[in-house]
Amino acid sequence: MPSAFETDTAVQRMSAGCYEANVADRWHVGPVPNGGYLLAIVVRALAQELPHPDPFAVSAHFLRPAQPGRALVEVEAVRTGRALSTGMGRLLQGEREHLRVLAAFGDFATLTGPTRVTGTPPALPPPEECVRGRAQAAGGVVVEMARRFDTRWPPGTPGWAHGGPSGVAEEALWLRFADEHPVDTLALVQIADALPPPVMELGVLGWVPTIELTVHVRARPAPGWLRCVARTRFLQEGYLEEDVEVWDTRDMLVAQSRQLARLTLQR
Amino acid sequence: MPSAFETDTAVQRMSAGCYEANVADRWHVGPVPNGGYLLAIVVRALAQELPHPDPFAVSAHFLRPAQPGRALVEVEAVRTGRALSTGMGRLLQGEREHLRVLAAFGDFATLTGPTRVTGTPPALPPPEECVRGRAQAAGGVVVEMARRFDTRWPPGTPGWAHGGPSGVAEEALWLRFADEHPVDTLALVQIADALPPPVMELGVLGWVPTIELTVHVRARPAPGWLRCVARTRFLQEGYLEEDVEVWDTRDMLVAQSRQLARLTLQR
């Protein structure tokens, strides 16, 4: 049986470089579909158009919110090489473009270079000692997307859901799909934008729409729980970065992302 | 008098969305022009096409090395909004595309949102107690681009130029243009790709061509020295990220960048 993620990011080829998709209503944050979810639809179309299977580097610029319903994805193979291929994709509804994407694809099965790692995964109590995440953000916003995931938070976190914001814009948690479907390299692109904004730990209430999101997928994830860490260090005049790392059960970094977002205060 | 950077990134409008540029030979790393330099040419063309002055988020996918000489830059205004505008740019030589770019522009003079910062600038001895950087990389590669900058390194660093690699893929240094021309938000885009690859501190010799580079410009820099820190934490099967922060004399983060690069061993 296909997973919710596979079903809701499916694309159908209409003609050369043109795909049809249906934006579902199961990945909303408040009233609009999550940007990483829209991005995954575009990346799936690119994966069909390009010869390499894994998105290595995906850069997305978000232009305006989308709506549930029919969407077109236009893709262009920009360059096809031996190790890497690069494509561009656009998501359109009616005449309006919502998202433009550049992506480099490769094949993790073929890599042979050296490995030297100094980063370490976040320290977390085991999932069974953690607390299940809820489908609500600070300020009472309903996050339908959160129901697609099983997240487990260290007891007492996030602060904004347990008495008060911690004052440090950082969070770490376990994550898997609610339907326990394995996470592939394409799903990692969505997951990089699926966490609650860590800036909520600063006690600021508002929307944090993504302007630009880049995801580097660094390995195919092993089956089982993922560990995610997200952090904002620089909120400057309303603009902020969100850095995310995703680790698998082998203690391997499988994705690293950064987005630039704009905080729009609720009051 | 225009600076070397301004002269060498100048673009001339030929027709709607089409600019001509001349790729100089003063920004080479080994035999080819630096990617961040090429990117700055494209960003300058985008700055002329879009209504906002400052590049906020620039995402570049590098397709193949360029050569000195004539280049065309094709730009498209993708969306023009009140706070932000988004464009796409391509750099071509002959029939070949070398670089494709998405960029969101804004205006730092108009920002009014909240500021909360936990990151701190790198600790460095004053520039006069530091050592001037040289135009040579590990393995003897000539870096002509390095002559465009005045860099000052803490004594004994980088390790690969002073007896042996440190074993930690990290570096911190002072930087300004060699002609002491002030750095604007456009020049920050180039500077984010102008540092020696920190991976050289691991004692691996080779090329580190950029696949994807995203630069977030976070403020207009104050005049004077910049401090830069660059770090690689994950070299995995030959692929690595390079994270760069650039700070100004006010202790303000002015740019943050990450690139995905591929290490091609020399032996």
A167 touches chain B (CB under 8 A): no
Rounded to 5, what percent of chain B is helix, strand, coil?
A: 20, 45, 40
The token pair that represents A265 in the structure block: 């205060």
User: For residue A1, is pLDDT > 90?
Assistant: no
Residue B24, burial from CB neighbour count under 10 angstroms (0-12, 13-18, 19+) = buried
B202/A111 Cβ within 8 A? no
ipTM of the complex: 0.97
The beta strands (E) that lie in chain A are given as 11-15, 18-23, 28-29, 32-33, 54-62, 69-80, 85-93, 96-106, 116-117, 131-132, 149-153, 170-177, 206-207, 210-217, 226-231, 234-236, 239-247, 253-262, 264-265
What is the per-residue pLDDT across A52-68, written as a single tens digit (0 to 9) for each? 999 999 999 999 999 99
Instruction: Report the DSSP beta bridge partners of residue A174.
Output: A152, A227
Q: How many CB pairs under 8 A join A and B?
A: 177
A78/B104 Cβ within 8 A? no
The tens-digit pLDDT sequence of chain B (267 residues) is: 889 999 999 999 999 999 999 999 999 999 999 999 999 999 999 999 999 999 999 999 999 999 999 999 999 999 999 999 999 999 999 999 999 999 999 999 999 999 999 999 999 999 999 999 988 877 788 999 999 999 999 999 999 999 899 999 999 999 999 999 999 999 999 999 999 999 999 998 788 999 999 999 999 999 999 999 999 999 999 999 999 999 999 999 999 999 999 998 875
User: So what's the pLDDT on residue B42?
Assistant: 98
B211 touches chain A (CB under 8 A): yes
B61/A104 Cβ within 8 A? yes
A212/B265 Cβ within 8 A? no
Spatial separation of the C-alpha atoms in residues A227 and A232, rounded to whole Å: 17
The token pair that represents B16 in the structure block: 């709607």
pTM: 0.97
B92 touches chain A (CB under 8 A): no
Spatial separation of the C-alpha atoms in residues A127 and A225, rounded to whole Å: 9
What is the per-residue pLDDT across B87-111, written as a single tens digit (0 to 9) for each? 999 999 999 999 999 999 999 999 9
Q: Which of B177, B148, B246, B185 is nearest to B46 (CA)?
A: B185
A84 touches chain B (CB under 8 A): yes
How far is the alpha carbon of A79 from chain B, nearest alpha carbon, in Å?
7
B104 touches chain A (CB under 8 A): yes
Chain A residues close to B211, C-beta within 8 Å: 56-57, 84, 104
Torsion of CA A202, A205, A209, A213, to 10 degrees: 20
- Find the helix or strand (DSSP H, E) in which B239 lies: strand B239-247
- Sign of the alpha-carbon torsion through A1, A47, A55, B254: negative
Peptide bond before A126: cis, by omega within 30 degrees of 0?
no
A15 touches chain B (CB under 8 A): no
